[in-house]
């Protein structure tokens, strides 16, 4: 197992923890801006969130490739197998990092769900006010 590849792998985990912190803050701001119906700043914030999510996805692909270079599956089983092969001090730190990554990803998911509920309720209210209650599709969103 290459020490350099392992450092890259752990570095990508650390980067993603930081990015998830940033995304969490953006999702909180997004909720506030949506509540205030402040579309200008919301559009800018959404672009920042998309960039963070793109970087997170890129790191995930890189980690999957690194797992393959270690001869492991790019799955949670492969990840756990990799961690179990590490020296104990590195193993403990990596396990904590993975736990933190999982918790922050779940937090971002919950925040995104909350934002989605707010958006849906705003859309329902707008539909009632404009008489467009039968419209059920959403406009195309860039991903």
Domains of the chain in start order, with CATH, are: 3-123 (1.20.58.300)
Q: How many CA atoms lie within 13 A of 108 on its CB side?
A: 21
Query: Per residue of the chain (143 residues), what is the pLDDT tens digit?
Result: 688 989 999 999 999 999 999 999 999 999 999 999 888 899 999 999 999 999 999 999 999 999 999 899 988 899 999 999 999 989 999 999 999 999 999 999 999 999 999 988 888 887 778 776 655 555 555 54
- Per-residue burial over 83-111, b = 16 or more CB atoms within 10 Å of its CB, e = otherwise: beebeeeeeeebeebbebbeebbeebeeb
pLDDT of residue 140: 58
Compute the distance between CA of residue 79 and CA of residue 67 in angstroms, rounded to an integer. 7
Q: What's the distance, CA 62 to chain centroid?
A: 15
pLDDT of residue 94: 95
pLDDT of residue 135: 54
Compute the distance between CA of residue 21 and CA of residue 15 in angstroms, rounded to an integer. 10
DSSP alpha helix (H) spans, 70-87: 76-84
pLDDT of residue 142: 57
Compute the distance between CA of residue 131 and CA of residue 86 in angstroms, rounded to an integer. 61
**Whether pTM exceeds 0.85:** no
Residues 6+ apart with CB under 8 A from 34: 42, 115, 118, 119, 122
């Amino acid at each position: 197992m290459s020490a350099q590849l392992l450092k890259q792998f752990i570095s990508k985990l650390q980067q993603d923890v930081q990015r998830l912190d940033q995304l969490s803050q953006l999702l909180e701001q997004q909720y506030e801006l949506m509540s205030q119906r402040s579309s200008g700043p919301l559009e800018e914030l959404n672009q920042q969130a998309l960039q963070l999510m793109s970087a997170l996805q890129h790191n995930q692909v890189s980690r999957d490739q690194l797992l393959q270079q270690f001869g492991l599956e790019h799955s949670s089983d492969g990840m756990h197998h990799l961690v179990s092969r590490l020296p104990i001090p590195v193993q403990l730190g990596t396990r904590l990092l993975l736990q933190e990554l999982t918790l922050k990803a779940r937090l971002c998911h919950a925040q995104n769900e909350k934002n989605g509920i707010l958006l849906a309720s705003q859309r329902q209210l707008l539909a009632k006010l404009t008489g467009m209650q039968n419209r059920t599709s959403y406009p195309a969103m860039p991903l």
